[in-house]
Structure 1
Protein backbone atom coordinates (compact mmCIF):
# COMPACT_ATOMS: atom_id res chain seq x y z
CA UNK A 1 0.00 0.00 0.00
CA UNK A 2 1.58 3.24 -1.15
CA UNK A 3 -0.50 5.70 0.84
CA UNK A 4 -0.01 6.20 4.57
CA UNK A 5 -2.66 8.08 6.52
CA UNK A 6 -2.39 9.54 10.00
CA UNK A 7 -5.40 10.96 11.82
CA UNK A 8 -4.74 13.39 14.65
CA UNK A 9 -7.35 12.97 17.40
CA UNK A 10 -7.95 14.10 20.95
CA UNK A 11 -9.82 12.34 23.73
CA UNK A 12 -13.32 13.73 24.20
CA UNK A 13 -14.53 14.31 27.73
CA UNK A 14 -17.76 16.22 27.11
CA UNK A 15 -20.30 13.58 26.01
CA UNK A 16 -23.90 13.62 24.79
CA UNK A 17 -25.81 14.99 21.79
CA UNK A 18 -25.59 18.56 23.00
CA UNK A 19 -21.84 18.34 23.38
CA UNK A 20 -21.51 16.84 19.89
CA UNK A 21 -23.56 19.67 18.39
CA UNK A 22 -21.35 22.24 20.11
CA UNK A 23 -18.26 20.55 18.75
CA UNK A 24 -19.57 20.65 15.20
CA UNK A 25 -20.94 24.20 15.32
CA UNK A 26 -18.47 26.12 17.44
CA UNK A 27 -15.19 24.20 17.48
CA UNK A 28 -15.43 22.94 13.87
CA UNK A 29 -14.55 19.46 15.07
CA UNK A 30 -16.10 16.06 14.40
CA UNK A 31 -16.97 13.64 17.22
CA UNK A 32 -15.61 10.13 16.68
CA UNK A 33 -14.87 6.88 18.47
CA UNK A 34 -12.19 4.20 18.27
CA UNK A 35 -12.93 0.69 19.57
CA UNK A 36 -11.95 -2.97 19.34
CA UNK A 37 -8.60 -4.67 19.64
CA UNK A 38 -9.29 -5.86 23.17
CA UNK A 39 -9.20 -2.31 24.52
CA UNK A 40 -11.88 0.01 25.87
CA UNK A 41 -13.63 2.34 23.40
CA UNK A 42 -12.29 5.90 23.36
CA UNK A 43 -14.48 8.86 22.37
CA UNK A 44 -12.52 11.29 20.19
CA UNK A 45 -12.63 14.65 18.46
CA UNK A 46 -11.03 15.31 15.06
CA UNK A 47 -10.55 18.64 13.29
CA UNK A 48 -13.18 18.73 10.55
CA UNK A 49 -11.08 20.16 7.72
CA UNK A 50 -8.34 17.58 8.30
CA UNK A 51 -10.78 14.68 8.23
CA UNK A 52 -12.63 15.95 5.16
CA UNK A 53 -9.35 16.40 3.30
CA UNK A 54 -8.42 12.79 4.05
CA UNK A 55 -11.85 11.61 2.90
CA UNK A 56 -11.19 13.06 -0.55
CA UNK A 57 -8.73 10.20 -1.10
CA UNK A 58 -10.48 6.96 -2.04
CA UNK A 59 -7.74 4.91 -0.39
CA UNK A 60 -8.58 6.39 3.03
CA UNK A 61 -11.72 4.24 3.19
CA UNK A 62 -9.91 0.89 2.87
CA UNK A 63 -6.39 1.51 4.19
CA UNK A 64 -5.06 0.81 7.66
CA UNK A 65 -4.80 4.21 9.33
CA UNK A 66 -2.72 5.49 12.21
CA UNK A 67 -5.09 7.22 14.63
CA UNK A 68 -2.91 9.33 16.90
CA UNK A 69 -4.87 9.73 20.15
CA UNK A 70 -3.17 12.34 22.33
CA UNK A 71 0.20 11.09 21.09
CA UNK A 72 -0.71 7.38 21.31
CA UNK A 73 -0.63 5.92 17.75
CA UNK A 74 -3.22 3.18 17.16
CA UNK A 75 -3.70 1.12 14.00
CA UNK A 76 -7.30 1.18 12.79
CA UNK A 77 -9.61 1.28 9.79
CA UNK A 78 -12.52 3.62 9.12
CA UNK A 79 -15.49 1.41 9.94
CA UNK A 80 -18.41 3.83 9.63
CA UNK A 81 -19.10 7.41 8.64
CA UNK A 82 -22.28 9.34 9.41
CA UNK A 83 -23.16 12.33 7.26
CA UNK A 84 -25.91 14.93 7.54
CA UNK A 85 -28.84 13.69 5.40
CA UNK A 86 -29.36 17.06 3.71
CA UNK A 87 -26.05 18.94 3.92
CA UNK A 88 -23.78 15.88 3.55
CA UNK A 89 -21.15 17.09 6.03
CA UNK A 90 -19.55 14.54 8.37
CA UNK A 91 -21.34 14.19 11.70
CA UNK A 92 -19.51 11.23 13.28
CA UNK A 93 -16.73 8.76 12.45
CA UNK A 94 -16.12 5.24 13.79
CA UNK A 95 -12.65 3.69 13.75
CA UNK A 96 -11.96 0.03 14.56
CA UNK A 97 -8.57 -1.02 15.90
CA UNK A 98 -6.83 -3.78 13.94
CA UNK A 99 -4.05 -6.28 14.57
CA UNK A 100 -1.48 -7.13 11.90
CA UNK A 101 -2.04 -10.86 12.58
CA UNK A 102 -5.84 -10.91 12.63
CA UNK A 103 -7.89 -10.99 9.40
CA UNK A 104 -10.66 -8.45 9.04
CA UNK A 105 -13.54 -7.68 6.71
CA UNK A 106 -13.41 -4.50 4.67
CA UNK A 107 -15.18 -3.07 1.61
CA UNK A 108 -12.78 -2.35 -1.25
CA UNK A 109 -13.83 -0.09 -4.17
CA UNK A 110 -14.10 -1.49 -7.69
CA UNK A 111 -12.32 0.17 -10.62
CA UNK A 112 -14.01 -0.78 -13.91
CA UNK A 113 -11.56 -0.85 -16.84
CA UNK A 114 -12.10 -0.48 -20.62
CA UNK A 115 -15.77 0.50 -20.38
CA UNK A 116 -15.70 2.57 -23.56
CA UNK A 117 -13.84 -0.17 -25.44
CA UNK A 118 -16.14 -2.89 -24.06
CA UNK A 119 -17.25 -5.26 -26.86
CA UNK A 120 -20.91 -5.00 -25.91
CA UNK A 121 -20.72 -1.19 -25.92
CA UNK A 122 -18.42 -0.39 -28.84
CA UNK A 123 -19.52 -3.10 -31.26
CA UNK A 124 -23.09 -3.81 -30.17
CA UNK A 125 -24.31 -0.47 -28.82
CA UNK A 126 -25.03 -1.85 -25.36
CA UNK A 127 -25.05 0.00 -22.05
CA UNK A 128 -23.02 -0.95 -18.97
CA UNK A 129 -24.85 -1.21 -15.68
CA UNK A 130 -23.04 -1.44 -12.33
CA UNK A 131 -24.67 -3.71 -9.76
CA UNK A 132 -21.90 -3.03 -7.21
CA UNK A 133 -19.31 -0.33 -6.56
CA UNK A 134 -17.27 -2.25 -3.97
CA UNK A 135 -16.58 -5.80 -2.80
CA UNK A 136 -16.44 -6.96 0.81
CA UNK A 137 -13.28 -9.00 1.31
CA UNK A 138 -11.50 -10.76 4.17
CA UNK A 139 -7.73 -10.49 4.59
CA UNK A 140 -4.94 -9.43 6.90
CA UNK A 141 -4.58 -5.66 7.35
CA UNK A 142 -1.33 -5.64 5.39
CA UNK A 143 -3.01 -7.31 2.39
CA UNK A 144 -5.91 -4.87 1.95
CA UNK A 145 -5.92 -3.79 -1.72
CA UNK A 146 -6.44 -0.12 -2.52
CA UNK A 147 -8.99 -1.14 -5.17
CA UNK A 148 -10.07 -4.15 -7.23
CA UNK A 149 -9.95 -4.04 -11.03
CA UNK A 150 -12.74 -5.45 -13.20
CA UNK A 151 -11.90 -5.50 -16.92
CA UNK A 152 -14.98 -5.02 -19.13
CA UNK A 153 -13.18 -5.31 -22.49
CA UNK A 154 -14.61 -8.70 -23.58
CA UNK A 155 -18.07 -8.43 -22.03
CA UNK A 156 -20.84 -8.80 -24.63
CA UNK A 157 -24.40 -7.53 -24.61
CA UNK A 158 -26.44 -9.72 -22.28
CA UNK A 159 -23.39 -10.89 -20.32
CA UNK A 160 -23.21 -10.54 -16.53
CA UNK A 161 -19.97 -10.23 -14.57
CA UNK A 162 -20.18 -12.08 -11.24
CA UNK A 163 -17.99 -12.12 -8.15
CA UNK A 164 -16.51 -15.43 -9.32
CA UNK A 165 -15.25 -13.70 -12.48
CA UNK A 166 -13.15 -11.24 -10.47
CA UNK A 167 -9.49 -12.02 -9.79
CA UNK A 168 -8.60 -11.04 -6.23
CA UNK A 169 -5.04 -10.50 -4.97
CA UNK A 170 -3.29 -13.31 -3.13
CA UNK A 171 -4.44 -13.58 0.47
CA UNK A 172 -7.72 -11.79 -0.24
CA UNK A 173 -11.06 -13.64 -0.36
CA UNK A 174 -14.63 -12.58 -1.07
CA UNK A 175 -16.81 -12.87 2.03
CA UNK A 176 -19.88 -13.51 -0.11
CA UNK A 177 -18.33 -16.35 -2.13
CA UNK A 178 -17.14 -17.93 1.11
CA UNK A 179 -20.82 -18.54 1.89
CA UNK A 180 -21.34 -20.65 -1.26
CA UNK A 181 -22.26 -20.47 -4.94
CA UNK A 182 -25.69 -19.02 -4.14
CA UNK A 183 -23.90 -15.84 -3.07
CA UNK A 184 -22.10 -15.31 -6.39
CA UNK A 185 -23.45 -11.79 -6.79
CA UNK A 186 -23.58 -9.76 -9.99
CA UNK A 187 -20.99 -6.98 -10.28
CA UNK A 188 -21.84 -5.50 -13.69
CA UNK A 189 -23.69 -6.26 -16.89
CA UNK A 190 -24.15 -4.99 -20.43
CA UNK A 191 -27.75 -4.50 -21.47
CA UNK A 192 -29.18 -4.05 -24.96
CA UNK A 193 -29.73 -0.50 -26.22
CA UNK A 194 -33.14 1.03 -25.64
CA UNK A 195 -35.66 0.01 -28.28
CA UNK A 196 -34.46 -3.54 -28.88
CA UNK A 197 -31.55 -5.93 -28.84
CA UNK A 198 -28.72 -6.13 -31.32
CA UNK A 199 -30.29 -9.26 -32.83
CA UNK A 200 -33.56 -7.36 -33.39
CA UNK A 201 -31.68 -4.63 -35.25
CA UNK A 202 -29.96 -7.19 -37.46
CA UNK A 203 -33.32 -8.84 -38.29
CA UNK A 204 -34.85 -5.45 -39.13
CA UNK A 205 -31.92 -4.63 -41.41
CA UNK A 206 -32.24 -8.00 -43.16
CA UNK A 207 -36.00 -7.57 -43.63
CA UNK A 208 -35.48 -4.08 -45.02
CA UNK A 209 -32.93 -5.40 -47.51
CA UNK A 210 -35.27 -8.16 -48.65
CA UNK A 211 -38.12 -5.66 -49.14
CA UNK A 212 -35.89 -3.39 -51.26
CA UNK A 213 -34.85 -6.36 -53.37
CA UNK A 214 -38.50 -7.37 -53.86
CA UNK A 215 -39.45 -3.85 -54.96
CA UNK A 216 -36.61 -3.83 -57.49
CA UNK A 217 -37.84 -7.19 -58.93
CA UNK A 218 -41.40 -5.80 -59.25
CA UNK A 219 -40.08 -2.74 -61.04
CA UNK A 220 -38.24 -4.85 -63.58
CA UNK A 221 -41.42 -6.82 -64.36
Structure 2
Protein backbone atom coordinates (compact mmCIF):
# COMPACT_ATOMS: atom_id res chain seq x y z
CA UNK A 1 0.00 0.00 0.00
CA UNK A 2 1.17 3.54 -0.63
CA UNK A 3 0.29 7.03 0.62
CA UNK A 4 1.44 10.59 0.06
CA UNK A 5 2.95 12.71 2.84
CA UNK A 6 4.07 16.33 2.91
CA UNK A 7 6.73 18.12 4.91
CA UNK A 8 5.42 19.86 8.02
CA UNK A 9 7.23 23.09 8.78
CA UNK A 10 5.61 24.07 12.07
CA UNK A 11 5.05 22.12 15.25
CA UNK A 12 3.28 22.72 18.53
CA UNK A 13 -0.31 22.49 19.76
CA UNK A 14 -1.54 25.60 17.92
CA UNK A 15 0.05 24.62 14.61
CA UNK A 16 -1.34 21.08 14.85
CA UNK A 17 -4.83 22.42 15.58
CA UNK A 18 -4.73 24.68 12.54
CA UNK A 19 -3.46 21.79 10.45
CA UNK A 20 -6.41 19.58 11.47
CA UNK A 21 -8.88 22.38 10.68
CA UNK A 22 -7.41 22.53 7.16
CA UNK A 23 -8.05 18.80 6.65
CA UNK A 24 -4.52 17.54 7.34
CA UNK A 25 -3.22 15.21 10.06
CA UNK A 26 0.15 15.89 11.70
CA UNK A 27 2.58 13.02 11.97
CA UNK A 28 6.20 11.99 12.30
CA UNK A 29 8.54 9.52 10.62
CA UNK A 30 11.43 8.20 12.70
CA UNK A 31 13.99 5.41 12.78
CA UNK A 32 16.99 4.47 10.68
CA UNK A 33 20.01 6.72 10.28
CA UNK A 34 18.05 9.86 9.35
CA UNK A 35 16.65 12.42 11.76
CA UNK A 36 12.93 12.30 12.65
CA UNK A 37 10.86 13.98 9.92
CA UNK A 38 7.73 16.01 10.66
CA UNK A 39 5.01 15.25 8.11
CA UNK A 40 1.35 15.92 7.39
CA UNK A 41 -1.13 13.66 5.61
CA UNK A 42 -4.52 14.30 4.00
CA UNK A 43 -7.02 13.35 6.71
CA UNK A 44 -9.73 11.87 4.49
CA UNK A 45 -7.30 9.65 2.60
CA UNK A 46 -5.72 8.58 5.89
CA UNK A 47 -9.09 7.85 7.51
CA UNK A 48 -10.06 5.48 4.69
CA UNK A 49 -6.62 3.84 4.67
CA UNK A 50 -6.82 3.14 8.41
CA UNK A 51 -9.98 1.09 7.83
CA UNK A 52 -7.94 -1.39 5.82
CA UNK A 53 -6.24 -4.16 7.76
CA UNK A 54 -3.22 -4.14 5.46
CA UNK A 55 -2.41 -0.53 6.34
CA UNK A 56 -1.73 -1.64 9.92
CA UNK A 57 0.29 -4.77 9.20
CA UNK A 58 2.16 -4.20 5.92
CA UNK A 59 5.27 -2.37 4.80
CA UNK A 60 3.97 0.88 3.27
CA UNK A 61 5.36 3.00 0.46
CA UNK A 62 5.44 6.63 1.60
CA UNK A 63 5.88 9.27 -1.10
CA UNK A 64 7.51 12.43 0.25
CA UNK A 65 9.09 15.20 -1.85
CA UNK A 66 8.99 13.02 -4.95
CA UNK A 67 10.84 10.15 -3.28
CA UNK A 68 9.38 6.85 -2.06
CA UNK A 69 10.53 5.15 1.14
CA UNK A 70 9.42 2.10 3.11
CA UNK A 71 7.69 2.71 6.44
CA UNK A 72 5.52 0.95 9.03
CA UNK A 73 2.55 2.37 10.87
CA UNK A 74 3.50 2.44 14.54
CA UNK A 75 0.94 4.57 16.39
CA UNK A 76 -2.37 6.34 15.77
CA UNK A 77 -4.04 8.81 18.13
CA UNK A 78 -7.79 9.24 17.68
CA UNK A 79 -10.09 11.93 19.05
CA UNK A 80 -12.12 10.56 22.03
CA UNK A 81 -15.49 10.94 20.30
CA UNK A 82 -15.05 12.64 16.90
CA UNK A 83 -14.14 10.80 13.71
CA UNK A 84 -10.76 12.48 13.75
CA UNK A 85 -7.16 11.28 13.67
CA UNK A 86 -5.11 13.56 15.92
CA UNK A 87 -1.61 12.28 15.15
CA UNK A 88 0.12 9.42 13.39
CA UNK A 89 3.58 7.85 13.71
CA UNK A 90 5.54 5.90 11.10
CA UNK A 91 8.84 4.06 11.40
CA UNK A 92 11.36 3.81 8.57
CA UNK A 93 12.10 0.29 7.35
CA UNK A 94 15.63 -0.98 6.84
CA UNK A 95 15.57 -3.80 4.28
CA UNK A 96 18.47 -5.50 6.09
CA UNK A 97 16.99 -5.32 9.60
CA UNK A 98 14.37 -7.64 11.05
CA UNK A 99 10.96 -6.23 11.94
CA UNK A 100 8.88 -6.84 15.05
CA UNK A 101 5.19 -6.62 14.13
CA UNK A 102 1.72 -7.79 15.09
CA UNK A 103 0.17 -9.72 12.21
CA UNK A 104 -3.58 -10.53 12.03
CA UNK A 105 -4.73 -14.16 12.15
CA UNK A 106 -7.38 -15.13 9.60
CA UNK A 107 -9.33 -18.19 10.77
CA UNK A 108 -11.26 -20.42 8.38
CA UNK A 109 -12.82 -23.89 8.23
CA UNK A 110 -14.35 -23.95 11.72
CA UNK A 111 -17.83 -24.82 10.41
CA UNK A 112 -16.42 -27.85 8.62
CA UNK A 113 -14.52 -29.20 11.62
CA UNK A 114 -15.71 -32.34 13.52
CA UNK A 115 -15.91 -30.20 16.66
CA UNK A 116 -18.65 -28.00 15.13
CA UNK A 117 -20.21 -30.23 12.45
CA UNK A 118 -20.50 -33.39 14.55
CA UNK A 119 -20.30 -32.38 18.21
CA UNK A 120 -21.90 -28.90 17.98
CA UNK A 121 -19.05 -27.27 19.90
CA UNK A 122 -18.23 -23.57 20.01
CA UNK A 123 -14.90 -22.49 18.49
CA UNK A 124 -13.55 -19.38 20.22
CA UNK A 125 -10.43 -17.52 19.03
CA UNK A 126 -8.29 -16.60 22.05
CA UNK A 127 -6.07 -14.18 20.09
CA UNK A 128 -6.68 -12.38 16.80
CA UNK A 129 -3.09 -11.36 16.03
CA UNK A 130 0.38 -12.74 16.55
CA UNK A 131 3.67 -11.05 17.47
CA UNK A 132 6.27 -11.99 14.87
CA UNK A 133 9.76 -11.11 13.70
CA UNK A 134 10.93 -11.33 10.09
CA UNK A 135 12.76 -9.47 7.38
CA UNK A 136 10.68 -6.72 5.69
CA UNK A 137 10.46 -8.73 2.46
CA UNK A 138 8.93 -11.69 4.37
CA UNK A 139 6.29 -9.74 6.30
CA UNK A 140 2.87 -11.30 5.58
CA UNK A 141 -0.28 -9.20 5.39
CA UNK A 142 -1.97 -11.87 7.54
CA UNK A 143 -1.46 -15.48 8.69
CA UNK A 144 -4.06 -18.01 7.52
CA UNK A 145 -5.13 -20.56 10.15
CA UNK A 146 -7.11 -23.66 9.12
CA UNK A 147 -9.57 -24.85 11.79
CA UNK A 148 -11.16 -27.68 9.78
CA UNK A 149 -9.38 -30.41 11.78
CA UNK A 150 -10.49 -29.25 15.23
CA UNK A 151 -12.12 -31.91 17.40
CA UNK A 152 -14.09 -31.88 20.64
CA UNK A 153 -11.88 -31.67 23.73
CA UNK A 154 -8.94 -30.08 21.89
CA UNK A 155 -7.44 -26.61 21.44
CA UNK A 156 -5.28 -25.10 18.73
CA UNK A 157 -1.83 -24.03 19.94
CA UNK A 158 0.89 -21.94 18.33
CA UNK A 159 2.92 -25.03 17.43
CA UNK A 160 -0.08 -26.49 15.59
CA UNK A 161 0.08 -23.86 12.83
CA UNK A 162 2.60 -23.38 10.05
CA UNK A 163 4.06 -19.88 9.90
CA UNK A 164 5.02 -18.34 6.55
CA UNK A 165 8.60 -18.76 5.37
CA UNK A 166 11.03 -16.50 7.24
CA UNK A 167 8.52 -15.61 9.96
CA UNK A 168 9.09 -16.46 13.65
CA UNK A 169 6.67 -16.00 16.53
CA UNK A 170 7.73 -13.86 19.49
CA UNK A 171 7.30 -15.81 22.72
CA UNK A 172 6.90 -13.97 26.01
CA UNK A 173 7.25 -15.32 29.54
CA UNK A 174 6.62 -19.01 30.17
CA UNK A 175 4.03 -19.40 27.41
CA UNK A 176 6.13 -21.35 24.94
CA UNK A 177 3.09 -22.78 23.18
CA UNK A 178 0.11 -20.46 23.82
CA UNK A 179 -3.47 -21.37 22.93
CA UNK A 180 -4.76 -19.61 19.82
CA UNK A 181 -8.23 -21.17 19.60
CA UNK A 182 -10.28 -23.01 22.22
CA UNK A 183 -13.07 -25.54 21.67
CA UNK A 184 -15.99 -25.36 24.08
CA UNK A 185 -18.37 -28.31 24.37
CA UNK A 186 -22.12 -27.55 24.11
CA UNK A 187 -24.05 -27.10 27.34
CA UNK A 188 -26.34 -30.05 28.06
CA UNK A 189 -29.65 -28.97 29.61
CA UNK A 190 -31.34 -31.61 31.79
CA UNK A 191 -35.10 -31.11 31.83
CA UNK A 192 -37.16 -31.97 34.89
CA UNK A 193 -40.21 -34.18 34.11
CA UNK A 194 -43.48 -32.26 34.31
CA UNK A 195 -45.07 -34.83 36.62
CA UNK A 196 -42.30 -34.64 39.21
CA UNK A 197 -44.29 -32.32 41.50
CA UNK A 198 -43.48 -32.40 45.23
CA UNK A 199 -45.43 -35.08 47.02
CA UNK A 200 -46.37 -32.68 49.79
CA UNK A 201 -48.20 -30.41 47.32
CA UNK A 202 -50.16 -33.36 45.97
CA UNK A 203 -51.24 -34.41 49.46
CA UNK A 204 -52.14 -30.88 50.41
CA UNK A 205 -54.60 -30.57 47.56
CA UNK A 206 -56.55 -33.61 48.81
CA UNK A 207 -57.18 -32.26 52.31
CA UNK A 208 -60.45 -30.55 53.18
CA UNK A 209 -61.61 -28.48 56.14
CA UNK A 210 -63.51 -30.24 58.90
Give TM-score, length-normalised by structure 2: 0.83
Trace 1:82-161 onto structure 2 (pairs within 5 A): 82-161=77-156
Shift of 1:34: 0.5
Matched, 1:37 2:35: no
Query: Residue 94 of structure 2 aligns to a residue in which SS?
Result: coil
Segments of structure 2 that go 5 or more residues without pairing to the other structure are 194-210
Q: Kindly indicate whether the alpha-carbon contact (under 8 Å) linking 2:154 and 2:182 is maintained by their aligned counterparts in 1.
A: yes
Give TM-score, length-normalised by structure 1: 0.79
Displacement over 4 Å in runs of 4+: none
For 1:123 and 1:16, the matched residues in 2 are separated by 61
For 1:52 and 1:67, the matched residues in 2 are separated by 16
Matched, 1:23 2:24: no
Query: Residue 145 of structure 1 aligns to a residue in which SS?
Result: coil
Matched, 1:13 2:9: yes
The count of residues paired between Structure 1 and Structure 2 equals 192
Matched, 1:77 2:75: no
2:50 is aligned to 55
**RMSD in angstroms over aligned alpha carbons?**
2.1
Segments of structure 1 that go 5 or more residues without pairing to the other structure are 209-221
Q: Which has the larger radius of gyration?
A: 2
For 2:174 and 2:168, the matched residues in 1 are separated by 14
Mark the CA change 1:187 to 1:85 in structure 2 (over 3 Å): closer, same or farther: farther
Q: Kindly indicate whether the alpha-carbon contact (under 8 Å) linking 2:110 and 2:150 is maintained by their aligned counterparts in 1.
A: no
Quick check: which one's helix share is greater?
1
For 1:29 and 1:75, the matched residues in 2 are separated by 21
